[in-house]
Structure 1
Amino acid sequence: MKRILTGLLTLTFMALAATAARADRFEDILKKGVVRIAVPLDVPPFGSQNQNREAEGFDVDLANMVAKALGVKLEMQQVTGANRIPFLLTDKVDIVISVMGLTPERARQIMFTAPYADTQLAVFGPKSANVTSADALGSLKVAAAKGTTQDLGLSAMNPKATIMRTEDDATAAAAYISGQADLIATNSLIVPDLAKRNPNKEFELKFTIRRSPAHMGVRMGEHNLVRWLDGFIFFNTMNGELDKLHRKWLGIPMAPLPSL
């Protein structure tokens, strides 16, 4: 019995030691003085490159705000809808700020913060396309960035839908604009910019896939980091800084958002 108790105590101490030894990402960021944040550069107005090939957009500004509030240097990395979560899982970045919607499936892989922007995912197309629901798509081809919430959501609504899955949102937009696809499934807040850049193309709302607020994401188990980010979102909601970002990049005031 004594030997068994000794063995159990040893295992307990080993487990505690392993837990204590595991680096806390929040503390690690502060000690290193660098935070690695993934942002989109293919989804204007959330992230794109200007004429000088400099990153700009809502999520880019937000990433800079996070780094400044942490008091550390920002190391920015470009991601697409398909590789946002893999970049976290393979430890290439500490935080993802990339118009990412929360789903139960994704929440099994990473942790989400409270939402920082309200968006909806929908299908858009020309006025001539007589489509009012996912069931009415028929043989019409819908362009959507693979692995995104709009791709997954539309697939769930109509498993037989013809979806042209592209590498990123920019390619999905190009497919619709060039006529390779009949419709496009995308974020509603991206459409005004697309319509402005392509005045000869129609972007009529056909139907909504679902409301999809944008959240930041971190690796599973990083409770201190996600809690700090929640506090950051709350503080900048209350002081109006997030509302300024909404008005600057989206042209609308920040809508009230639920917390997690």
Structure 2
Amino acid sequence: MRGFKVVVVMLCVMVSGACAQFNQGTAAVPVVASHLDRIAARGELVVGMSGNQPPLNFISKSGELMGLEVDLAKQMADAMGVNLRTQSMAFADLLPALESGRVDLVLSGMTITPARNMKSMFVGPYFLSGKAILTREQTLADIRNPSEMNRPNLKIVALRGSTSQALVEDEIPDAKLSLAQDYDEAIQQLIRNEADIFIADYPICIISVFRYPDEGLISLITPMTFEPLGIGLPAGDPLYANWVENFLMLLDGSGELEELTNHWFGESSWLEDLP
């Protein structure tokens, strides 16, 4: 009888251990919370921007961040019921900040490309742009098509980490390329005659002509490329991407996106806020 009791006790211990292991295994299955849950719990949407891409985003004379993308970010935060916090950083640092979790999304004139989409999700486009050149009239007169820029004596400046850099490296490899951390630095290189041509999205080039009226700058108005601007999101969260996609759809369908775009690209009153 004693031996029978020992066997029963051992069986109970074995069954209990197996149950414990089963429960632990079940509990070990991770439950992945959506970024939306974390944003809601934090009460804050953190958006990464360069802060120097007017009229998409820029820091005004008073130190306030303004622009089309700032307005979009504010509306997104309002729709989530949270506060907005913007993080200004160099353009090349935006996607690494997204991948490391320092920002919840990137909204900064970023073109949707296959290479970027390999690491991050993109929703959009919310604006269609294209590459243009900013230069002086004499330089532009010598260039009838982009292929004529491919010569060793031509100095081109572009934003580091941008599709403009990729365009020059792929299509204009013989030109001398200089990389700037931000648009202000690039334009100053042009003004100081350290560069012959600045290549960037056409809104930046056109705005720079009005921003520096005494520098003799001129822009090629017709965009050279197709640049769909999208919202960068962390990979692996379809609910978050679906929310942002539907937010843009509703904003577009209501006409609010068109109103915002017309304000920042069709009016000039905000130019007075540029530093």
- TM-score normalised by the chain length of structure 1: 0.86
Higher helix share: 2
| Identity score, percent | 25
Task: Give the unaligned 5+ runs of structure 1.
Answer: 1-5, 253-260
Task: Select which of 214, 219, 234 maps to 2:249.
Answer: 234
SS in 2 for 1:128: helix
Q: Distance in 2 between matches of 1:117 and 1:148?
A: 17
Q: Give CA-to-partner distance per residue, 1:40-65, whole Å, 9 cap, x none.
A: 21111111111211111111111111
Q: CA RMSD, aligned part only?
A: 2.2
SS in 1 for 2:33: coil
SS in 1 for 2:107: strand
Q: Give CA-to-partner distance per residue, 1:56-114, whole Å, 9 cap, x none.
A: 11111111111011110111111332111111011110011001101111011100002
For 1:248, the equivalent position in structure 2 comes to: 263
For 1:55, the equivalent position in structure 2 comes to: 65
Assess if the C-alpha contact under 8 Å between 2:133 and 2:205 holds in 1.
no
Does residue 147 (structure 1) correspond to residue 161 (structure 2)? The answer is: yes
**Residue 238 of structure 1: how far off its partner (Å):** 0.8
Does residue 205 (structure 1) correspond to residue 220 (structure 2)? The answer is: yes
Does residue 220 (structure 1) correspond to residue 235 (structure 2)? The answer is: yes
Assess if the C-alpha contact under 8 Å between 2:56 and 2:108 holds in 1.
yes
**Residue 207 of structure 1: how far off its partner (Å):** 7.1
Where do residues 78-227 of structure 1 align in structure 2 (5 Å cutoff)?
78-129=88-139, 130-137=142-149, 138=151, 139-200=153-214, 201-205=216-220, 208-227=223-242
SS in 2 for 1:132: coil
**Residue 32 of structure 1: how far off its partner (Å):** 2.1
Does residue 31 (structure 1) correspond to residue 41 (structure 2)? The answer is: yes
Task: Give the unaligned 5+ runs of structure 2.
Answer: 1-17, 268-275
Q: Distance in 2 between matches of 1:157 and 1:47?
A: 28
> Could you tell which deviates more after superposition, 241-250 or 31-40?
31-40
State the number of aligned residues.
241
Structure 1 residues 206, 188: CA separation in 2 closer, same or farther (over 3 Å shift)?
closer
Q: Distance in 2 between matches of 1:248 and 1:191?
A: 18
SS in 2 for 1:98: coil
Structure 1 residues 164, 15: CA separation in 2 closer, same or farther (over 3 Å shift)?
farther
Structure 1 residues 65, 140: CA separation in 2 closer, same or farther (over 3 Å shift)?
same
**Residue 15 of structure 1: how far off its partner (Å):** 10
> Could you tell which deviates more after superposition, 123-132 or 223-232?
123-132
**Residue 135 of structure 1: how far off its partner (Å):** 2.9
Does residue 73 (structure 1) correspond to residue 79 (structure 2)? The answer is: no
Assess if the C-alpha contact under 8 Å between 1:154 and 1:209 holds in 2.
no
**Residue 204 of structure 1: how far off its partner (Å):** 2.8
Q: Give CA-to-partner distance per residue, 1:191-214, whole Å, 9 cap, x none.
A: 232111111322231874411021
SS in 2 for 1:93: coil
Q: Distance in 2 between matches of 1:189 and 1:47?
A: 11
Q: Distance in 1 between matches of 2:253 and 2:240?
A: 20
Q: Which amino acid aligns with 1:164?
A: S
SS in 1 for 2:252: helix
**Residue 14 of structure 1: how far off its partner (Å):** 6.5
Q: Which amino acid aligns with 2:61?
A: Q
Assess if the C-alpha contact under 8 Å between 1:81 and 1:169 holds in 2.
no
**Residue 125 of structure 1: how far off its partner (Å):** 1.7
Structure showing greater radius of gyration is: 2
